[in-house]
Amino acid sequence: MPPTDLLRAQHNALVDLVPIPPVADELAARFAAAGHRLYLVGGSVRDALLGRPVNDLDFTTDARPEAVLAALAGWADAVWDTGIAFGTVGARRHGATVEITTFRADVYDGVTRNPVVAFGDTIEDDLVRRDFSVNAMAVELTGTRTFVDPHGGLAALHAGVLDTPATPEESFSDDPLRMLRAARFVSQLGLAPAPRVVAAMTAMAGQLSRITAERVQAELSKLLLGAHPRRAIELLVDTELAEVVLPEVPAMRLAVDEHMQHKDVYVHSLVVLEQAIDRETDGPDLVLRLAALLHDIGKPATRRKESDGRVSFHHHEVVGAKMTRRRLRELRYPKSVVDDVAQLVFLHLRFHGYGNGAWTDSAVRRYVTDAGPLLERLHRLVRSDCTTRNRRRAAALQRSYDGLEERIAALREQEELDAIRPDLDGNAIMEILGIPAGPLVGKAYKHLLAVRMERGPLGREEAEAELRRWAAEQTP
């Protein structure tokens, strides 16, 4: 058999490896009846070949948007046309979500990432404009099923290489967000970018500033939640894309850590990220991963050389929490994510004052109360922050934290530690002191909470006595 015929036969045999759900067959029949072609395309084909779950189905077709709407009429349970200006129509059928896009042959203006929409006439026109060759494969569903792979996507997938159908310079100029998507696929799929892709990312990193913060944040989150986020972060730093996305991360390369045991804080932070991932129990945790990556970003700003030659970073957790809050806000993360990550960064160093159990019960209570619902994440972050190669020291630190967790468990059993409140509420304070609602009630509540932290549960009688004593001191 001639080589080209053999290759075509091998490709067509691959069609059997791509599971075609019934909803796709139904849709293909409707398009064929109307005289149009329909292809399963992009990530749907890639993930099917990798054995990954395919949830949403992406299709491309020679039918124009109006013909797509006509084909869906009476078949889809729901249709949405919010993307119809770009040739995309979405639909739902029996719980399955499908997205159908007319062949595209767009031209970009080089300023924004919005294309001048132009519809194409062939599947080849459509595939060449896609971001990466592993996403430029298709399976024709109308007529004889055919595997379409003009840019070697299957070979790239087999080799674990991430490359572009056109030149990477053309691809990234059309849409700079594709550079960040490259890093995301490194994390999610474990692919290695082709040398020419890395070169283009490095030369064109500044163009990422054309992309909105919301889009950058969405890609960054997917990257961090992937299976290999360290590889992706290293790619961002090496290509200088991180200077646009997370400049605080490459800045850590300048700070040798205070123990003189790490090449730099940057490498240490990547190790902490990996160790935090190993401690996840309920799937990928974006808040924990962000905190692990960013926990030491305050070190460059607080770096100081001491008289004995050692390097210190006093209060880097305070500075780091502020920097974290600012960066995540600029990336448009939800307030809950910003608050949680910043609080973990702020608290990550507190355990190091624990020593061999030197904390009072009051200090343990404050640790738990300040962490609140983040306590389990804080446990994982603090344990992950131990990256010393000294096995004896590492074991001692883990034993010390074991001791802290045991004390927390004991206090929790005794005192309902997770919901510490003063022994008297606001109504009781007003009744006992004979005062109306106002600032003085809040001050009394805070005082009783501080006493509760310090001395543990007081009981009603002792709490009333303490309240009266405090109130007497407030009277001129």
Residue with tokens 């894309």: 241
Distance CA(334)–CA(347), nearest Å, equals 20
Give pLDDT, residue 48.
87
Please, are residues 404 and 364 in contact by the beta-carbon 8 Å criterion? yes
Please, are residues 184 and 178 in contact by the beta-carbon 8 Å criterion? no
Q: Which residues contact 326 (CB under 8 A, 6 or more apart)?
A: none
Q: Identify the CATH number of the domain defined by range 3-157.
A: 3.30.460.10
Question: What value does the CA radius of gyration of the chain take, rounded to a whole number of Å?
Answer: 29
Give pLDDT, residue 1.
45
Q: What is the DSSP letter of 130?
A: S
| Number of H-type helices and E-type strands within the chain | 24, 13
Cβ-based burial of 330 (10 A; exposed 0-12, middle 13-18, buried ≥19) = exposed
Give pLDDT, residue 6.
55
- Size of the chain in residues: 476
Q: DSSP letters along 269-299, please? A: HHHHHHHHHHT-SSS--HHHHHHHHHTTTTH
Domain range summary for the chain, segments of one domain joined by +: 3-157, 160-245, 278-417, 421-474
Spans of the chain, pLDDT less than 50:
1, 261-262
Q: Do domains 3-157 and 160-245 have the same CATH topology?
A: no
Q: Which two tokens stand for residue 378?
A: 């804080």
Distance CA(62)–CA(133), nearest Å, equals 21
The model carries a pTM of: 0.82
Q: Which of 316, 302, 321, 313 is nearest to 258 (CA)?
A: 313
Pair type for strands 38-41 and 107-108: unpaired
Q: DSSP letters along 88-127, please? A: EEEEEETTEEEEEEE-B--EE-SSSS-EE--B-SSHHHHH
Q: Identify the CATH number of the domain defined by range 160-245.
A: 1.10.110.30
Cβ-based burial of 169 (10 A; exposed 0-12, middle 13-18, buried ≥19) = middle
Rounded to 5°, angle at Cα 256 from 254 and 257: 135
* Residues 193-216: tens digit of each pLDDT: 999 999 999 999 999 999 999 999
Give pLDDT, residue 69.
96
Pair type for strands 107-108 and 311-312: unpaired
